[in-house]
C-alpha cells in the first residue's frame, strides 16, 4: 500500500457532508471522513443504531453522499452481508458490473456487545465486506453507559465511580484478537490521530476479497470528559501510552505498524480524561498500577507474537 | 410547510444525498477559528482532522473555514504545526 | 402441470425453487427446517441461481433479507414460532421499509412451555407488524399462495408471509397440482423494488432517524399501503385463477348462503370444519363456515357481508389473548360486525393450542353451544374447547 498523499485526497469529493449533528470535536466523524477518503464513491455503507447513524440521518437531512443503510442496533453486519450477497447474485446475472465496496460501521455498543453475534456470523461466512468499529468505549448515544469495550476503571453512568465501587471493574474485551481468531484475512487496530496508518489499513482491507475488520479508537469529548480541542491529542496519547497499540493481523500474522520511539506512562493518558479522575485518589492508586502492568504485559505479548511470526 | 404523507417518498428514504448541507450548525459554537495565512504551510492537517468538513480547500491550498458549519471545537488550532490558527471568542 | 404427492414443506420449497429468488437467508427451526434443508440442496445441486446465506440466527436472517431486498434482489426466507418471534423487531422494520420479502411460515406455538406443534400464537403475535398474512387451508393452497405472495408483495410493496399449520400440513403428504417452472416465472415476472441501494449514481439513505415532525406521516403512508393491499391480493388471485384454474379470495364461504349458524376459522381446521358442516347439514341443521384466508389486511367488508344474516357465530381461535377479550380473530370479527344494525351474536372459542387435536366432535360441540345460545341458554362469551377442565 502506497503512502497516502493527503494533498491529493483533499482535492477529491467529500462523501460525508457537513451539517450533521455530531458533538463538536467528535472523533467518530473524523474517522468516517478518513475512511471514505480512501474508499471512494463506489461504496455502500451500513450503520448500526448509534451516535453516527442518528446524527447523520435526521429526516429529511442526510450527511451521506453515498448509499447508506440503517436497519437496527445489533444487525449491521447481517444487513450488510445481505447487501453484499445480493450484489454477488445480481452481478452473476449481469445486472451489475461495477465493483462496489461494502463497509459496515458500528459503535462499540453495536459491535462488542449486542452486535457481536451478527459480526461473528458475517465474518465466519466469508462475505466480502469491511467492518469498522468506531470504538468510543461506551454506549455514548444513550448517554454514556458501559460496554464491554469500556476501559478498566472508567466512570460511566452504569459503572459510576462510586463510594463502594470505583468505576468499571472488568478489563475491556480484546475484540481485535477475537476477530483475528476468526481466521479472517485481515484485522487491524487504528487511531484517527495516525491518519496515514488508518487510511493505509482501510485501503489494504478494501483490496482484500473477503471479510476484514478494523477497530478504531474514537475519542468522545462528552463521554470521556475532556475539552473538544484535544480529540487528536488524546487519540495520539492512547497509542503512546500502549493503551491502543496500532497493529494488524495480516493472514494470521501479527505486525505492529506504529512503534512509538519512547512510551509515556499511562497516567498521561488517564489524567487528560475526567472519566478517570477518581483513579488519582490515594485509595485508587492501585488501579493505575494495575492498568500500567496490564498494558505493559499486553504490549510485550504483541511484540513476542510479531517476533515469532505468529 | 412540511409535506403531507402522500407527498413523501416510499419507505421514509431520503433521496437527496448530502441534504444536511442545508442545516447550518455554525450557530453552535462559542469560539471561531481564525487563520493567519502567512503562517499556513498548506499541510492539510486541519482538513484531515476536522469533524465537520469545515476547512475550505481549493486547488491544494487551505483557503479558510466554512463558518456556516464550523462548531468551534478547536481541533484545527490544536493540530496545526505552525500555529497558524487561533480560536477567538465569538461576540454576540 | 404435474400431479405430485408432497408435504406443505416440500411444496413450499418447490414453489421457492420455481420462483428462483436472488437471495435466501434462513435459519432452521422445527417444523419449518425442511423447507430450508430442501432449498439448500436445490442450491448445492445448481437447480436455482439463488445465493443462500446460512445465517447464525433468525434475527440475522431477516436482517440479511432486508439488506438484500434493499439492494434490489428478490428475497425469501422461512421460519416458525420462536424464530419468527426472534425476528420481531426486524419484521416491523422490513414492512416500514416497504420491502417485498416473502416468508414461508409454518405455524407453531410460542414457548413457554416449549412446544413444536401447531397453533397460531406465532403469527398472531406479529399481526400488527405491517406484513400481509395469508393462512393456507391445505398444502395446495400453501404452494399456490407462495407463488401469488411474491407477486402481491412486489405490487403492494409490503412484505408477505404465507403460513401453513405445523405438522398438520407441513409434514403431511397431500396431492399437489404443481405448475411448470416457466409458468411460475411468467406469472411473477421481473422483480420490482421500491428503490435501489446499489444505484451508486443516485445514492439514497435508507432507515433515517425520523422525529416527531415526520414519523407519523411515514406510518400513515405504510397504513395506506395495507389499505390498498386487498385490491392487489384480489387482482393477483383472479389472474392466478384465470391462468391456472384454482380460485382464491380474501375469505372462503362454505354453505353460508342460508346458514343460521356459522363458525369462523383459520387454517387447516377448516378442512375438518367443512366435514362437520356437511355432517350437520345432513342432520338438517342450517350451518355454514367462513374461513379467513387473508388475515392481514383484515377483510372486514367480506366478513361482514358473509356473516351479517347469520343468527349466531362461533369464532374459533388457535391462539389465546391471555385475558384479552377473547381470541384475536374473535375480537377483530366482532369489531367488524359492531357497526351493523342487524348483526349476529358472536362467541369466542379458543382451541387447539400446542397442537391439541381438534376433531369433528369438538366442532360439533361448538355448533351445539351456539345453537343453544340462540335458544336462550346462557353460554359464556369466551370459551376454551378441548382442554381438560
Q: What is the pLDDT of residue C290?
A: 98
Q: Give C74→chain B minimum CA distance, Å.
A: 17
Residue B3 lies in a domain: no
Say which of C51, C93, C200 has its CB closest to residue A41: C200
Helices (H), chain C: 8-19, 33-44, 58-70, 81-86, 88-96, 121-124, 139-156, 181-188, 215-244, 269-282, 300-307, 328-337, 360-374
Mutate to test the interface with A, among B10, B48, B72 (most CBs of A within 10 A): B48
- DSSP secondary structure string for all residues of C91-131: HHHHHHTT---EEEEEE-PPSSSP--S--SHHHHTTTTSS-
Chain A residue numbers with beta carbons less than 8 Å from the beta carbon of B87 are 229
Cα–Cα distance, A195 to A188 (Å, whole number) = 14
- Tell whether the model's pLDDT for residue A296 goes beyond 70: yes
Residues of chain A contacting B, Cβ within 8 Å: 6-7, 9-11, 14, 16-27, 29-30, 33-34, 37, 56-57, 59-66, 192, 195, 221, 227-233
A3 band by pLDDT with thresholds 50, 70 and 90: confident
pLDDT tens profile A186-222: 999 999 999 999 999 999 999 999 999 999 999 999 9
Q: Which of B1, B3, B5 to mutate to test the interface with C (most CBs of C within 10 A)?
A: B5
Instruction: Give per-residue pLDDT as tens, B44-69.
Output: 999 999 999 999 999 899 999 999 99
Range of B26's domain?
20-89
Helices (H), chain A: 6-9, 27-39, 51-56, 76-92, 108, 116-125, 175-181, 195-207, 221-224, 231-240, 266-270, 285-307
Contact A82 C205 (CB under 8 A): no
A6-307: CATH topology is: Rossmann fold (3.40.50)
pLDDT in tens, A69-127: 999 999 999 999 999 999 999 999 999 999 999 999 999 999 999 999 999 999 999 99
The answer to whether the CB atoms of B10 and C194 lie below 8 A apart is yes
What kind of fold does domain C2-244 have according to CATH?
A: Rossmann fold (3.40.50)
Q: Is the pLDDT of residue C135 over 80?
A: yes
pLDDT in tens, C298-332: 999 999 999 989 999 999 999 998 899 999 999 99
Closest CA to A175 of A137, A129, A130: A137
Asked if residue B70 is part of any domain, the answer here is yes
**What are the boundaries of each domain within chain A?**
6-307
pLDDT in tens, B6-15: 999 999 999 9
Q: Does residue C292 register a pLDDT over 80?
A: yes
Nearest to C100 by CA among C60, C64, C152: C152
pLDDT in tens, A21-61: 999 999 999 999 999 999 999 999 999 999 999 999 999 99
The pLDDT tens digits for C102-122 are 999 999 999 999 999 999 999
User: In this predicted model, what pLDDT tens digit does every residue of A244-258 receive, in sequence order?
Assistant: 999 999 999 999 999
Q: How many CB pairs under 8 A join A and B?
A: 124
Distance CA B84, CA A229 (A): 15
Per the CB < 8 Å rule, is A27 touching B23?
Answer: no
- Residue C23 phi, psi dihedral angles, 5° rounding: -140, 135
pLDDT in tens, A254-288: 999 999 999 999 999 999 999 999 999 999 999 99
ipTM of predicted complex: 0.96
| DSSP assignments along C211-226, one per residue | -TTTHHHHHHHHHHHH
Cβ distance A252 to A180 under 8 Å? yes
Q: What is the pLDDT of residues A124-142, one digit of tens each?
A: 999 999 999 999 999 999 9
C216 close contact with A: CB closer than 8 A: no
Q: Which residues of C touch B (CB under 8 A)?
A: 96-99, 157, 194-195, 202-208, 210, 213-214, 216-218, 220-221, 224
What pLDDT score does B91 carry? 86
3-class SS shares of chain A: helix, strand, coil, % to 5: 40, 15, 40
The fold of C251-385 is: Rossmann fold (3.40.50)
Q: Give yes or no for residue B92 having a pLDDT over 80.
A: no
Candidate from B11, B14, B17 with C-beta closest to C194: B11
For residue B1, being part of any structural domain is answered with no
pLDDT surpassing 90 at residue C229? yes
Q: Rounded distance, CA C346 to CA A281, Å?
A: 72
pLDDT in tens, C347-374: 999 999 999 999 999 999 999 999 999 9
Q: Across residues C335-342, what is the average pLDDT?
A: 94
Q: Tell me how far apart the alpha carbons of residues A106 and A118 are, in angstroms, rounded to a whole number.
A: 11
A88 touches chain C (CB under 8 A): yes
B5 at interface of C, judged by CB pairs closer than 8 A: yes
φ/ψ (deg, to 5) at C46: 70, 20
Residues A87/A108, Cβ–Cβ less than 8 Å: no
As a whole number, the mean pLDDT across chain A is 97
Q: How many CB pairs below 8 Å do chains A and C form together?
A: 165
Model confidence at A1, in pLDDT bands (50, 70, 90)?
A: low
Planar angle of CA A248, A253, A257, nearest 5 degrees: 30
Q: Please report residues of B whose CB lies closer than 8 A to that of C195.
A: 9-11, 13
pLDDT at A2 > cutoff 80 = no
Between the CA of residue C113 and those of A135, C116, C117, C211, what are the distances in Å? 40, 10, 11, 39
Scanning every residue of chain C, which has its alpha carbon at the shortest distance from the alpha carbon of A44? Answer: C198
Task: Return d(Cα A80, Cα A129) in angstroms, integer.
Answer: 8
Residue B48 belongs to some domain of the structure: yes
Q: Residue A65: is its pLDDT beyond 80?
A: yes
Determine how β-strand C174-178 pairs with β-strand C2-6: antiparallel
Chain C residues in contact with B12 (beta carbon < 8 A):
96-97, 207-208, 210, 214, 218
Q: Give C204→chain A minimum CA distance, Å.
A: 5
- Burial readout B29-58 (b: 16 or more C-beta within 10 A, e: otherwise): bebbbebeeeebebbbbbbbbbbbbbbebe
| Among C61, C68, C198, beta carbon nearest to A67 | C198
pTM of the model: 0.96
CB contact under 8 A, C205 and B5: no
Task: Inform me whether the C-beta atom of residue C209 falls under 8 Å from chain A C-beta atoms.
Answer: yes
State the Cα–Cα distance between residues C162 and C134, nearest whole angstrom.
5
Q: What is the mean pLDDT of chain C?
A: 97
Closest-CA distance, A225 to chain C, in angstroms, reads 26
Q: Is residue B62 part of a domain?
A: yes
Supply φ then ψ for residue C334, to 5 degrees.
-65, -40
Delimit the domains of chain C by residue range: 2-244, 251-385
pLDDT in tens, C48-57: 999 999 999 9
In angstroms, the separation between the Cα of residue B76 and the nearest Cα of chain C is 30
Contacts of A151 (CB under 8 A, 6+ apart): A137, A168, A171, A172, A243, A291
Separation of alpha carbons A63 and C211, rounded Å: 16
Contacts of C206 in chain A (CB under 8 A): 67-70
Taking the CA atoms of residue C321, residue C324, residue C325 and residue C329 in that order, the dihedral angle to the nearest 10 degrees is: -30
Q: What CATH number does residue B58 fall under?
A: 3.30.70.20
Count of domains in chain B? Answer: 1
pLDDT of residue B1: 82
Distance from CA of B27 to the nearest CA of C (A): 21
Amino acid at each position: 500500500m502506497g503512502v497516502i498523499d493527503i494533498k491529493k485526497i483533499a482535492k477529491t469529493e467529500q462523501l460525508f457532508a457537513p451539517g450533521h449533528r455530531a458533538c463538536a470535536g467528535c472523533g467518530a466523524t473524523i474517522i468516517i471522513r478518513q475512511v471514505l477518503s480512501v474508499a471512494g464513491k463506489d461504496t455502500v455503507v451500513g450503520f448500526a443504531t448509534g451516535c453516527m447513524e442518528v446524527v447523520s440521518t435526521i429526516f429529511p437531512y442526510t450527511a451521506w453522499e453515498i448509499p447508506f443503510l440503517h436497519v437496527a442496533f445489533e444487525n449491521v453486519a447481517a444487513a450488510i452481508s445481505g447487501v453484499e450477497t445480493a450484489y454477488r447474485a445480481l452481478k452473476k446475472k449481469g445486472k451489475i458490473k461495477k465493483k462496489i465496496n461494502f463497509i459496515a460501521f458500528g459503535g462499540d455498543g453495536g459491535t462488542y456487545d449486542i452486535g457481536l453475534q451478527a459480526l461473528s456470523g458475517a465474518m465466519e461466512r466469508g462475505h466480502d465486506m469491511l467492518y469498522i468499529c468506531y470504538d468510543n468505549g461506551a454506549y455514548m448515544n444513550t448517554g454514556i453507559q458501559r460496554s464491554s469495550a469500556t476501559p478498566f476503571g472508567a466512570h460511566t453512568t452504569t459503572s459510576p465511580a462510586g463510594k463502594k465501587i470505583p468505576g468499571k471493574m472488568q478489563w475491556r474485551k480484546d475484540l481485535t484478537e477475537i476477530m483475528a481468531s476468526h481466521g479472517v484475512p485481515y484485522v487491524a487496530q487504528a487511531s484517527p490521530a495516525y491518519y496515514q496508518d488508518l487510511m493505509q489499513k482501510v485501503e489494504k482491507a478494501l483490496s482484500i476479497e473477503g471479510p476484514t475488520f478494523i477497530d478504531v479508537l474514537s475519542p468522545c469529548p462528552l463521554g470521556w470528559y475532556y475539552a473538544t480541542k484535544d480529540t487528536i491529542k488524546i487519540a495520539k496519547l492512547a497509542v503512546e501510552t500502549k493503551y491502543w497499540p496500532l497493529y494488524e493481523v495480516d493472514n494470521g500474522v501479527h505486525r505492529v505498524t506504529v512503534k512509538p520511539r519512547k512510551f509515556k506512562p499511562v497516567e498521561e493518558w488517564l489524567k487528560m480524561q475526567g472519566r478517570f479522575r477518581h483513579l488519582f485518589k490515594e485509595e485508587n492508586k492501585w488501579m493505575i498500577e494495575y492498568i500500567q502492568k496490564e498494558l505493559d504485559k499486553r504490549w510485550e505479548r504483541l511484540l513476542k507474537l510479531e517476533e515469532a511470526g505468529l | 410547510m412540511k409535506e403531507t404523507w402522500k407527498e413523501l417518498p416510499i419507505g421514509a428514504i431520503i433521496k437527496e444525498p448530502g441534504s444536511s448541507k442545508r442545516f447550518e450548525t455554525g450557530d453552535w459554537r462559542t469560539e471561531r477559528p481564525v487563520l493567519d495565512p502567512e503562517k499556513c504551510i498548506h499541510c492539510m492537517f486541519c482538513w484531515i482532522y476536522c469533524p465537520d468538513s469545515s476547512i475550505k480547500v481549493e486547488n491544494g491550498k487551505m483557503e479558510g473555514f466554512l463558518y456556516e458549519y464550523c462548531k468551534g471545537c478547536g481541533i484545527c488550532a490544536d493540530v496545526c504545526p505552525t500555529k497558524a490558527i487561533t480560536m477567538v471568542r465569538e461576540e454576540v | 402441470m404435474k400431479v405430485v404427492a408432497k408435504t406443505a414443506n416440500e411444496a413450499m420449497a418447490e414453489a421457492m425453487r420455481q420462483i428462483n429468488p436472488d437471495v435466501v437467508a434462513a435459519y432452521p427451526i422445527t417444523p419449518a427446517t425442511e423447507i430450508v434443508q430442501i432449498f439448500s440442496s436445490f442450491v448445492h445441486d445448481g437447480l436455482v441461481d439463488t445465493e443462500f446465506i446460512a445465517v447464525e440466527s433468525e434475527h440475522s436472517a431477516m436482517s440479511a433479507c432486508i439488506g438484500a431486498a434493499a439492494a434490489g434482489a428478490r428475497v425469501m426466507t422461512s421460519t416458525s414460532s420462536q424464530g419468527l418471534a426472534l425476528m420481531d423487531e426486524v419484521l416491523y422494520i422490513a414492512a416500514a421499509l416497504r420491502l417485498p420479502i416473502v416468508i414461508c411460515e409454518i405455524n407453531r406455538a410460542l414457548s413457554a412451555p416449549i412446544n413444536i406443534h401447531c397453533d397460531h400464537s406465532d403469527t398472531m403475535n406479529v399481526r400488527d407488524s405491517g406484513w400481509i398474512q395469508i393462512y393456507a387451508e391445505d398444502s395446495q393452497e400453501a404452494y399456490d399462495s407462495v407463488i401469488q405472495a411474491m407477486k402481491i408483495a412486489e405490487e403492494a410493496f409490503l412484505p408477505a408471509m404465507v403460513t401453513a399449520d405445523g405438522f398438520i400440513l407441513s409434514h403431511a403428504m397431500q396431492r399437489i397440482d404443481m405448475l411448470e417452472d416457466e409458468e411460475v416465472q411468467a406469472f411473477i415476472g421481473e422483480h420490482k423494488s421500491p428503490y435501489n441501494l446499489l444505484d451508486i449514481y443516485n445514492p439514497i439513505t435508507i432507515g433515517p432517524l425520523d422525529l416527531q415532525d415526520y414519523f407519523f406521516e411515514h406510518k400513515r403512508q405504510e397504513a395506506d399501503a395495507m389499505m390498498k393491499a386487498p385490491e392487489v391480493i384480489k387482482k393477483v388471485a383472479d389472474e392466478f385463477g384465470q391462468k391456472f384454474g384454482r380460485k382464491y379470495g380474501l375469505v372462503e364461504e362454505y354453505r353460508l348462503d342460508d346458514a343460521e349458524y356459522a363458525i369462523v376459522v383459520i387454517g387447516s381446521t377448516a378442512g375438518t370444519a367443512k366435514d362437520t358442516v356437511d355432517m350437520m347439514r345432513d342432520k338438517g341443521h342450517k350451518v355454514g363456515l367462513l374461513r379467513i384466508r387473508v388475515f392481514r389486511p383484515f377483510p372486514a367488508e367480506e366478513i361482514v357481508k358473509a356473516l351479517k344474516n347469520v343468527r349466531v357465530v362461533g369464532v374459533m381461535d388457535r391462539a389465546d389473548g391471555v385475558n384479552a377479550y377473547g381470541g384475536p380473530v374473535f375480537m377483530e370479527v366482532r369489531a367488524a360486525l359492531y357497526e351493523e344494525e342487524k348483526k349476529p351474536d358472536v362467541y369466542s372459542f379458543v382451541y387447539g393450542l400446542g397442537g391439541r387435536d381438534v376433531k369433528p366432535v369438538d366442532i360439533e360441540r361448538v355448533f351445539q353451544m351456539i345453537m343453544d345460545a340462540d335458544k336462550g341458554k346462557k353460554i359464556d362469551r369466551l370459551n376454551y374447547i378441548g382442554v381438560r377442565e
